[in-house]
Amino acid sequence: MMTLTNCLIVFILVSVICNNGVEAFHRIYPDLQSVSAHSVNKLHRTGFHFQPNRNWINDPNGPMYYKGIYHLFYQYNPKGAVWGNIVWGHSVSKDLINWKELQPALYPSKPFDRYGCWSGSATILPGKGPVILYTGVVDKRSNEVQCIAVPANASDPLLTKWVKPDRLNPIVTADHGMNGSVFRDPTTAWLGKDGQWRILVGGKREDTGVAYLYRSRNFLKWIRAKHPIHSAKRTGMWECPDFYPVSLEGKNGLDSSMMGNSVKHVLKNSLDITRYEYYTIGTYIQNQDKYIPDKTSEDGWGGLRYDYGNFYASKSFFDPSKNRRIIWGWANESDTKEDDVKKGWAGIQAIPRTVWLDSSGRQLRQWPVEELNRLRGKEVEMNKQKLKKGSYVEVKGITAAQADLEVTFSFSSLDKAEAFDPKWENAEDLCAEKGTKVRGGVGPFGLLTLASKKLEEYTPVFFRIFKASNKHKILMCSDAKSSSLNRELYKPSFAGFVNVDLGNTKKLSLRSLIDHSVVESFGVGGKTNILSRVYPTLAVKEKAHLFVFNNGTEQITVENLKAWSMKTARRN
Ligand SMILES: *[C@@H]1O[C@H](CO)[C@@H](O)[C@H](O)[C@H]1NC(C)=O
Ligand SMILES: *[C@@H]1O[C@H](CO)[C@@H](O)[C@H](O)[C@H]1NC(C)=O
Ligand SMILES: *[C@@H]1O[C@H](CO)[C@@H](O)[C@H](O)[C@H]1NC(C)=O
Ligand SMILES: *[C@H]1O[C@@H](CO)[C@H](O)[C@@H](O)[C@@H]1NC(C)=O
């Protein structure tokens, strides 16, 4: 007898096979997208990472701080746990951690967004209040236009109701010669010294990724600049561009319109081909509206990443209440569509991260917003714990499935570091090849998170140090290979290199946020970050364990480790 679930699986397989390719991720599951979530399976739901009460979410949209309230919108399917029926879900918070879910803010209601209200951004107009620019999908062939929505009542701090003025919309359409089906995701606007507002819209010309620039004097009538602000060959569609200034001094964030000598700019794009995000740091020449990445900042998929794991379609905003810039990023599931339908939900947002320019000027750093620390409960510590080759020690006394942990490891010598083979360009391949099981010289050492007691399952987050011709190469991995006994999962060996000089200090630090089906890690003060989605079968709830380990010949010392049980954030 065929159960309902089996029927669903057959439907999914058929619809996957028959889907001969809209955009890589805008996959359509006609049979599933309106299968409503009857119940929500809590086993792997997060305790403090944002997710709505049920159903599918993807990109964070229009984050902002307004009248004392943080607003987060997100691509949301109100009818089911796979992508489809896309509206702007809306949640509000006073602290970026505890959230209240409101009614969707934008949903298809007009000819210019009949087939979807896709991603976009908020801009707060001085003296007037917020406006939203978003992508409307006008037809089944995914022709996209840019639209404007304004609050029905800008005095309402919750901004519950939004209107889309007919006489203005759409505000931007693809010009002749542009491809309207790859034309989306308007940025927050910034105001130039010449009194004109500017926005970017992501696009593609043949295989060249493009960030189109538009200008407006009144925010209503927008004209495309002759040249895009930037483009790069062989990078494919640029989704969700983000463009903002960072300060050369200190960690403070800047308003998007800030210019001057003490400022660099960041351009981030989400590459639809790889489904990862990349950024460059560079110079913005405003009178020519040109952005030139620094020589040390590469365009495309050899470039820098916010996160070397599961993190996409991110968007930043300036928070004037604490003078910081914060980025939100979406982390999709690593399980199957069938699992998602069964569990009634899919997609989370990463912990909001403060972002600033590293003192080297060559990369960004990120750190969980300080408000997260308020969820820290019971604390345990470990000091000067020696880890010989092959040893592991349990961090006991906290809820290991819902925890925050900060640790500093030290070692006295780098002599035993393995030689680095220059052909290991790809950190992920190297992590997959060596993992935690191939013994090394200095490392692998780090954490075993979401581990079952006898290590049938675990998600290791660790470092491994190599000696290259003129310096050391530090690999950071978050390896999902052994994370679950369930075979039907995507289990990548996510990894990145960390740019750090070990010369004097011989120390490496790590912070990991562990949250049932997420391990979100920040290496060396947020220089290299990796978010993994994992679904243990044994290491769940109170059966999850946490260890520190060393599988290299060089002895490692846990200088200091602090770990906290994390309370559950309020979400209703
Ligand atoms: C607008 O919102 C404010 C603040 O919530 C409220 O006092 C006012 O009555 C609202 N105006 C309308 C027309 O609803
Ligand atoms: C426009 O882009 C879509 C999506 O990449 C592609 O399938 C289509 O062929 C493009 N159309 C033209 C005219 O280049
Ligand atoms: C450490 O290496 C040994 C030998 O390869 C292996 O059996 C063991 O599983 C490794 N430890 C971890 C935590 O992977
Ligand atoms: C998240 O899911 C995995 C497994 O299905 C895909 O391989 C990724 O491409 C996907 N990521 C995004 C950003 O869509």
- Please report the pLDDT score of residue 14 as a whole number: 32
Domains and CATH numbers, the chain: 2-48+57-368 (2.115.10.20), 377-566 (2.60.120.560)
Does residue 346 register a pLDDT over 50? Answer: yes
Q: How far apart are CA 256 and CA 265, in angstroms?
A: 10
Does residue 8 register a pLDDT over 60? Answer: no
- Please report the pLDDT score of residue 21 as a whole number: 31
Residues whose CB falls within 8 Å of the CB of residue 174, separated by 6 or more in sequence, listed in order: 143, 144, 145, 180, 183
**Residues with Cβ within 6 A of ligand 2?**
179, 181-182
Q: How far apart are CA 480 and CA 430, in angstroms?
A: 14
- How many other C-beta atoms are found inside a 10 Å radius of the C-beta of residue 331? 24
SS (H, E, C) 306-341: CCCCCCEEEEEEEECCCCEEEEEEEECCCCCHHHHH
Does residue 13 register a pLDDT over 80? Answer: no
The residue whose C-alpha atom lies closest to atom 12 belonging to ligand 1 is: 153
Does residue 280 register a pLDDT over 70? Answer: yes
Contact indicator for 526, 367 with CB cutoff of 8 Å: yes
For a ligand 2 pocket test, name from 22, 26, 137, 182 the mutation site with the most ligand atoms within 8 angstroms of its C-beta: 182
Q: How far apart are CA 176 and CA 214, in angstroms?
A: 15
Q: Which ligand is nearest to the CA of 455?
A: 3
- Please report the pLDDT score of residue 193 as a whole number: 95
In short, whether 439's Cβ falls inside 6 Å of ligand 3 is yes
Does residue 10 register a pLDDT over 60? Answer: no
- Please report the pLDDT score of residue 37 as a whole number: 63
Question: Which of 10-24, 140-154, 303-317, 425-439 shows the lowest per-residue confidence on average (mean pLDDT)?
Answer: 10-24
The CA-CA-CA angle for residues 495, 397, 456, to 5°, reads 50
- Please report the pLDDT score of residue 400 as a whole number: 98
In short, whether 565's Cβ falls inside 6 Å of ligand 4 is no
In short, whether 547's Cβ falls inside 6 Å of ligand 3 is no
Q: How far apart are CA 338 and CA 410, in angstroms?
A: 44
**Tokens 């879900």 found at:** 89
- Please report the pLDDT score of residue 28 as a whole number: 64
- Please report the pLDDT score of residue 566 as a whole number: 98
| Mean pLDDT estimate for the chain | 93
Binned at pLDDT 50, 70 and 90, residue 33 comes out as confident
- Across the range 220-245, mean pLDDT stands at 97
Does residue 17 register a pLDDT over 50? Answer: no
- Please report the pLDDT score of residue 200 as a whole number: 98
CA atoms within 13 A on the CB side of 19: 17
- Across the range 40-47, mean pLDDT stands at 94
- Please report the pLDDT score of residue 390 as a whole number: 96
In this prediction, what percent of the chain has a pLDDT beyond 70? 94
In this prediction, what percent of the chain has a pLDDT beyond 90? 90
* Ligand 3: centre distance to CA 98 (Å): 40
* Ligand 1: centre distance to CA 152 (Å): 9
pLDDT tens digits along 530-544: 999 999 999 999 999
Does residue 18 register a pLDDT over 80? Answer: no
Does residue 61 register a pLDDT over 60? Answer: yes
- Please report the pLDDT score of residue 38 as a whole number: 67
pLDDT tens digits along 451-464: 999 999 999 999 99
- Please report the pLDDT score of residue 27 as a whole number: 61
Taking the CA of residue 332 as reference, the ligand 4 atom at the shortest distance is: 1
* Ligand 1: centre distance to CA 158 (Å): 11
- Across the range 90-109, mean pLDDT stands at 98
**Residue type (1 letter), 470:** N
Question: Which of 16-30, 388-402, 493-507 shows the lowest per-residue confidence on average (mean pLDDT)?
Answer: 16-30
Phi, psi at residue 159, to the nearest 5°?
Answer: 50, 50
Residue 373 CA to its chain's centroid (Å)? 20
Taking the CA of residue 330 as reference, the ligand 4 atom at the shortest distance is: 13
pLDDT tens digits along 142-188: 999 999 999 999 999 999 999 999 999 999 999 988 999 999 999 99
- Please report the pLDDT score of residue 139 as a whole number: 94
User: Which positions are annotated as active-site residues?
Assistant: 59
In short, whether 79's Cβ falls inside 6 Å of ligand 3 is no
Does residue 225 register a pLDDT over 70? Answer: yes
Q: How far apart are CA 390 and CA 455, in angstroms?
A: 14
Q: Cα–Cα distances in Å, from 433 out to 51, 129, 373?
A: 34, 53, 36
Taking the CA of residue 182 as reference, the ligand 2 atom at the shortest distance is: 2
Binned at pLDDT 50, 70 and 90, residue 4 comes out as very low
**Residues with Cβ within 6 A of ligand 1?**
153, 155-156
* Ligand 4: centre distance to CA 548 (Å): 29
Q: How far apart are CA 531 and CA 307, in angstroms?
A: 7
* Ligand 3: centre distance to CA 122 (Å): 49
Q: What is the pTM of this model?
A: 0.94
